[in-house]
């Protein structure tokens, strides 16, 4: 290991030891790292400052500048408080909402955040205990707060915690507030942090907000009658040890579902997530216990939420009665199909209604919207961009749903982030509607493919760690721009979109401008055979992501397996074509 880097990290560690602002427990952890022959933990803890990015903080818990701890959280919150006071000069009664999920140290971090905001004269609505991310977003809007913080690392492994920053619209911060907050955070020193709370400015909230949120979720329901007819739909739910454990079953019952079973081992609040390798509903392994219980109980479907209950997972039965996990793109397709079809049938669909998807999400949704005369908007990855579309049309057009491929959906506008409790209620309504017509969710998925065309999506993560890796990723993106791709896996590229220059170029070289709110280091290629390839470097990890979408014609439900086989072969051709 680089000796100079070790010395640099030792010097930073010694600064913490010499400072009167850090407690003895923290200093003991630092001494242990300094005394150890293995310098890797020391270097990892001090080689950089844990960056406050556009979404907030996320990192491994422990002592050090590159760790989630009381002091790093404190400096971030002081910077956030400073920005709020600057953003609303002279205004009295400024308030924020603060909450946390099931993660280890979550309550301590949340109370630290609340203390610092209150010490800066900002009123804090602090949830009494863990709550879902979407309820935090809802509460900010409901209470007229100027901002909010949810202490969560979403679906990351147990060693992590994090800090999501929200603005007054209930969405995660975007420009200009994101960079403004970051600038303020970067100016803060540990001695600037006001840790001593003003207890008069901290108000504990809980049950009354749960009631208001559940009432709002009820508005998502499209067809009460179908639920009444299928009230015994057999539902198995897993909370993945997190925040959905109380609210999801309550919401389902309030909608009229009466046959709800929970995975008991995963209803236990535990930041160590003892029953899963990783608490991520995208991982099939995380759904194992739910599927086992579903088999034993003869369930119609299995649903789950991640620890902060913004993402959801859906598992249905295939024709052989075996469990099949609905992937993120299929989830968005299913929601949008039902919303359009049943709002039309009930006379609830208006010309001003619109849907939103992210640019890397399946184009099947675009075809669906176009065929039914419904406006669909494309936005960047992340629900803050979906929230922006809702905000710019507020009072003029009605948002009726939006989602992204990473297992997230938002079916209404009372929340401005991914909302798993509301989405789970709606997917159970969809399952009830399908059952009412003698179908399973699998049958419904096949029906969508038959009507709008088969699509297969596959994501590839190319990991390139370290500075050399970052340089390699940068060079890959530069090469894509310098040497335009003309064909992919034997199909001519009909359109290239570059979101850094905000230009779209067709195969004849004609260019048009892309209407997006900001630039982004993303490229997309649309081929004549319907293939779509998107590429973007990760903003938080040493990797570059490729999103592949392959099309086919599916003549019958039994043709699905053959389409999947051909699509997987096509994916391999695309990988060779792109050199990945």
pLDDT < 70: residue spans in the chain: 1, 466-467, 539-541
User: Does the residue 214 lie in any domain?
Assistant: no
Beta bridge partners, 357, equal: 378, 403
Among residues 175, 205, 235, which one ends one of the domains? 205
Do 266 and 158 fall into the same domain? no
Question: Which token pair is 419?
Answer: 């909302």
Do 284 and 188 fall into the same domain? no
Summarised one tens digit per residue, pLDDT across range 511-540 is 999 999 999 999 999 999 999 999 998 765
- One DSSP character per residue, 275-286 reads T-SS--TTSGGG
Do 306 and 413 fall into the same domain? yes
DSSP state for residue 116 in the 8-state scheme:
H
Do 401 and 494 fall into the same domain? no
Do 361 and 463 fall into the same domain? no
Do 75 and 140 fall into the same domain? yes
Do 230 and 373 fall into the same domain? yes
- Which positions are annotated as active-site residues? 154
Q: What is the CATH number of the domain that holds 105?
A: 3.40.120.10
User: Does the residue 91 lie in any domain?
Assistant: yes
Enclosing domain of residue 153: 48-205
User: Does the residue 67 lie in any domain?
Assistant: yes
User: Does the residue 28 lie in any domain?
Assistant: no
Considering its fold, how many domains does the chain have in total? Answer: 3
Do 280 and 356 fall into the same domain? yes
Nearest to 81 by CA among 49, 50, 124, 110: 124
User: How far is CA 111 from each of CA 96, 510, 567, rounded to the nearest angstrom?
Assistant: 13, 56, 50
User: Does the residue 31 lie in any domain?
Assistant: no
User: Does the residue 218 lie in any domain?
Assistant: no
Do 79 and 58 fall into the same domain? yes
The C-alpha angle with vertex 387 and arms to 381 and 391, in degrees rounded to 5, equals: 140
Query: Contact, 168 vs 416, CB < 8 A?
Result: no
Question: Which token pair is 442?
Answer: 């699998």
Do 409 and 556 fall into the same domain? no
Do 194 and 70 fall into the same domain? yes
Summarised one tens digit per residue, pLDDT across range 56-94 is 899 999 999 999 999 999 999 999 999 999 999 999 999
Buried b (16+ CB within 10 A) or exposed e, 128-164: eebbbbbbbbbbbbbbebbbbbbbbbbbbebebbbbb
pTM of the model: 0.95
Compute the distance between CA of residue 255 and CA of residue 212 in angstroms, rounded to an integer: 15
Among residues 399, 432, 451, which one ends one of the domains? 451
Among residues 146, 176, 205, which one ends one of the domains? 205
Please tell me the predicted confidence (pLDDT) of residue 541.
65
Beta bridge partners, 550, equal: 456
User: Does the residue 66 lie in any domain?
Assistant: yes
Do 430 and 467 fall into the same domain? no
The C-alpha angle with vertex 102 and arms to 135 and 412, in degrees rounded to 5, equals: 20
User: Does the residue 1 lie in any domain?
Assistant: no
Q: What is the CATH number of the domain that holds 548?
A: 3.30.310
Summarised one tens digit per residue, pLDDT across range 325-349 is 999 999 999 999 999 999 999 999 9
């Amino acid at each position: 290991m680089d000796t100079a880097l070790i010395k640099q990290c030792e010097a930073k560690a010694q600064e913490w030891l010499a400072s009167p602002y850090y407690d003895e427990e923290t200093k003991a952890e630092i001494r242990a790292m300094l005394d150890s022959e293995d310098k890797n933990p020391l270097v990892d803890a001090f080689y950089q400052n844990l960056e406050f990015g556009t979404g907030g903080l996320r990192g491994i818990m422990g002592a050090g500048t590159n760790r989630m701890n009381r002091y790093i959280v404190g400096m971030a919150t002081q910077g956030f408080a400073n920005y709020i006071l600057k953003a609303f000069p002279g205004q009295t009664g400024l308030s924020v909402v603060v909450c946390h999920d099931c993660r280890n140290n979550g309550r301590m971090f949340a109370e630290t955040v609340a203390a610092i905001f209150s010490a800066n004269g900002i009123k804090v609505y602090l949830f009494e205990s863990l709550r879902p991310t979407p309820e935090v977003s809802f509460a900010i809007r409901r209470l007229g707060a100027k901002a909010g913080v949810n202490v969560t690392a979403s679906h990351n492994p147990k060693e992590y915690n994090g800090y999501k920053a929200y603005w007054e619209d209930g969405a995660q911060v975007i420009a200009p507030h994101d960079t403004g907050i970051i600038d303020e955070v970067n100016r803060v020193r540990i001695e600037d942090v006001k840790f001593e709370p003003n207890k008069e400015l901290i108000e504990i909230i809980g049950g009354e907000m749960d009631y208001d949120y559940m009432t709002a979720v009820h508005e998502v329901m499209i067809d009460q009658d179908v639920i009444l007819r299928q009230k015994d739909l057999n539902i198995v739910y897993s909370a993945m040890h997190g925040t959905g454990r109380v609210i999801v079953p309550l919401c389902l019952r309030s909608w009229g579902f009466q046959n709800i079973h929970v995975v008991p081992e995963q209803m236990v609040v535990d930041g160590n997530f003892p029953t899963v390798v990783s608490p991520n509903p995208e991982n099939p392994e995380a759904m194992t216990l739910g599927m086992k219980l579903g088999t034993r109980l003869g369930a119609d479907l299995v649903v789950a939420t991640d620890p902060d209950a913004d993402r959801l997972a859906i598992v249905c039965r295939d024709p052989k009665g075996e469990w099949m996990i609905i992937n993120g793109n299929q989830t968005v397709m299913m929601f949008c199909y039902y919303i359009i079809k049943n709002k039309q049938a009930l006379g609830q669909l208006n010309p001003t209604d619109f849907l939103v998807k992210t640019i890397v999400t399946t184009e099947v949704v675009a075809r669906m919207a176009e065929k039914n005369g419904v406006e669909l908007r494309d936005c960047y990855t992340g629900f803050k961009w979906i929230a922006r579309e809702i905000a710019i049309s507020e009072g003029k057009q009605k948002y009726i749903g939006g989602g992204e491929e990473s297992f997230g959906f938002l079916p209404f506008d009372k929340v401005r982030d991914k909302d798993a409790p509301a989405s789970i209620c709606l997917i159970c309504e969809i399952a009830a509607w399908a059952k009412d017509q003698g179908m399973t969710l699998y049958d419904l998925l096949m029906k969508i493919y038959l009507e709008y065309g088969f699509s297969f999506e596959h994501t590839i993560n190319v990991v390139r760690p370290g500075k050399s890796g970052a340089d390699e990723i940068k060079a890959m993106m530069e090469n894509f721009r310098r040497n335009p791709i003309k064909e992919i896996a034997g199909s001519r590229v009909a359109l290239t979109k570059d979101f850094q220059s905000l230009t779209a170029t067709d195969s004849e070289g004609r260019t048009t401008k892309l209407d997006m709110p900001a630039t982004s280091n993303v490229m997309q290629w649309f081929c004549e055979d319907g293939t779509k390839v998107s590429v973007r470097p990760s903003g938080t990890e040493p990797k570059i992501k490729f999103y592949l979408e392959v099309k086919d014609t599916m003549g019958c439900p039994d043709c699905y397996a053959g389409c999947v086989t051909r699509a997987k072969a096509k994916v391999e051709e695309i990988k060779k074509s792109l050199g990945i």
